[in-house]
Amino acid sequence: MQRITILGATGSIGVSTLDVLARHPERYSVYALSAHSRVDELAAQCVRFRPARAVVGDADAAARLRALLRAAGVRTEVEHGERALCAIASAAETDTVMAAIVGAAGLAPTLAAARAGKKVLLANKEALVMSGQLFMDAVRESGAVLLPIDSEHNAIFQCLPQGYGRAPAAAGVTKILLTASGGPFLKRDVATLDGVTPDEACAHPKWVMGRKISVDSATMMNKGLEVIEAHWLFGTPAEQIEVVIHPQSVIHSMVSYSDGSVLAELGNPDMRTPIAHALAYPERIASGVAQLDLTQVGTLQFERPDFERFPCLALAFDALKAGGTAPALLNAANEAAVAAFLDTRIGFRDIARVIARVMDELPHGAAASIEAVMAQDALARAAAGRVIDAIAARAAG
């Protein structure tokens, strides 16, 4: 019986994870669940899955959750805050941690799980982007098992000879081909992108996801973050990672070998497949996802990304090549800019402008410690805030 902690249980990945777990009660039990502010959703999950512990963002949310659980006769222990998140991620009573909090907020608990030697199912790509070297060192030192949930990285993992235990070059790997749907604005006239609304940006053609990652998909910053994520997970240099636009999202990524072979993982676009793969690895379990029928799909298309249309992708490659804390700056500026776009304070194309300005303004340093990374994160958010205020003031005036 695997005992699971889900960080970010009320989100898109969290809900899909519980869906898979519920199909296999003989294999999995839920040890702990977390949410930030959606207390009603978390209460319903606690009633159904009866975790020993639940964590929310603040004391007020904790009080509301306690009241709901008391009324329902559920004896889950309720805590709040980052320290409690780290505790449920590293507790002796849990074996497997699904890291599915969105953004930098997931870094501390995800790292706590890695340091405690857990089986870490990594959806929270921002944690790896911010502190790739520190995170991978923690995994190596503790003997944690790191399994990628991001569909592309899960596909690559499946196409590599022995996971990523071996350096890809030694295994004959010449290139990683990361596929990208291109998002909702792949064919839209670039000149009209300034006027798109948050709802239009979040209407992804193939995947149903949280709002932050949906905007990242529309700017293709998501793919940029995934390039950095692939670099750390598989030890692949930036020059050997290529982005290929594939609007059908049937091929989830590919690996090229020196003999000319290209291996791909295919399936219907549904996150329950990589979640089930990682949960059961190296076995296979049912995920609830329908089998792929290629005759229904008919045609698979591929094209090169247009870096003019998607400047965020170029910014991410630049940050990876710059190294050190540059990816942490990129990530923080992006989180601030996406939040401002979702609040309709800045336009869609301003997201890339904010990030570029922050990257120009702030020198990056060595990512020597989590404290150094978090300090750069804070600087980048403050700098992004100033650029956002200036843009918003200009638009208002």
Residues that bind ligand NDP (CB under 6 A): 8-14, 35-38, 57, 100-102, 105, 123-126, 150, 207, 209-210, 212-213, 271
387 binds, options ligand NDP, Mg ion, none, Cβ within 5 to 8 A by partner type: none
Closest CA relative to residue 147, chosen from 285, 276, 34: 276
Local structure of 113: helix, strand or coil: helix
Residue 126 interacts with Mg ion (CB under 5 A): yes or no: no
Coil, helix or strand at residue 293: coil
Q: Which is nearer to ligand NDP, 125 or 223 (CB)?
A: 125
Question: Which residue, 176 or 391, is less far from ligand NDP as judged by CB?
Answer: 176
**Residue 102 binds which entry of ligand NDP, Mg ion, none, with Cβ cut-offs from 5 to 8 Å by kind?**
ligand NDP
Q: Is 350 in the site for Mg ion (CB under 5 A)?
A: no
Do you know the residue count of the chain?
A: 397
Cβ of residue 150: shortest distance to Mg ion, in angstroms? 4
Residue 390 Cβ, how far from Mg ion at the closest point, in Å? Answer: 32
> Which of 166, 211 has the CB closer to ligand NDP?
211
Nearer to Mg ion by Cβ, of 57 and 183: the residue is 183
Residue 176's beta-bridge partner residues?
Answer: 241, 255
The answer to whether residues 98 and 17 touch, using CB atoms and an 8 Å cutoff, is yes
For residue 244, give the nearest of 187, 301, 318, 321 by alpha carbon: 301
Nearest residue (CB) to ligand NDP, 11 versus 324? 11
Which is closer to Mg ion, CB of 97 or CB of 243? 243
Selection from Mg ion, ligand NDP, none that 124 binds (CB < 5 to 8 A by kind) is: ligand NDP
Buried b (16+ CB within 10 A) or exposed e, 125-135: bbbbbbbbebb
How many angstroms separate the CA atoms of 163 and 284, rounded? 15
When binding is defined by CB under 5 A, the residue of 150, 216, 229, 335 that contacts Mg ion is: 150
CB 124, min distance to ligand NDP, A: 4
**φ, ψ (nearest 5 deg) of residue 177:** -110, 105
In the numeric block, which tokens belong to residue 10?
A: 């009320």
CA neighbours within 13 Å on the CB side: how many for 109?
35
Binding site for Mg ion (CB under 5 A): 150-152
